Amino acid sequence: EIVMTQSPATLSVSPGERATLSCRASQSVSSNLAWYQQKPGQAPRLLMYGASTRATGIPARFSGSGSGTEFSLTISSLQSEDFAVYYCQQYNNWPPRTFGQGTRLEIK
């Protein structure tokens, strides 16, 4: 089973600033890595797939990078609606499809 590890667990950032979230896989997942955003009481929403391709309707301030075992999600200028929990997920080698434990992005 591929273990996905996200860091940090919580990230405190001020609106307008840049945030970078990290995700590490226990073995290579190539570029088969997705990011999801989840707000309280809501379902997850796809942000990014293929490690760096934005999903439909996702603003350009979101960008993803990485391949193999190291990935990152960057939000260039945080808006109020961006404060949420973010999960990475590998879909390269399954079952099981594994998620990271999540990074909570909170307002500083």
**Residues making contact with other proteins (CB under 8 A):** 32, 34, 36, 38, 42-46, 49, 55, 87, 89, 91-92, 94-102
User: Which SS3 state, helix, strand or coil, does residue 26 take?
Assistant: coil
Q: Choose between 19 and 34: whose C-beta lies nearer to other proteins.
A: 34
Residue 41 has φ and ψ, to the nearest 5°, of 75, 5
By C-beta, is 37 or 82 nearer to other proteins?
37
Query: In this complex, which beta carbon is closest to other proteins, that of residue 78 or of residue 103?
Result: 103
CB of 45 to other proteins, least distance (A): 7
CB 46 within 8 A of CB 99: no
Tokens found for residue 58: 């996702």
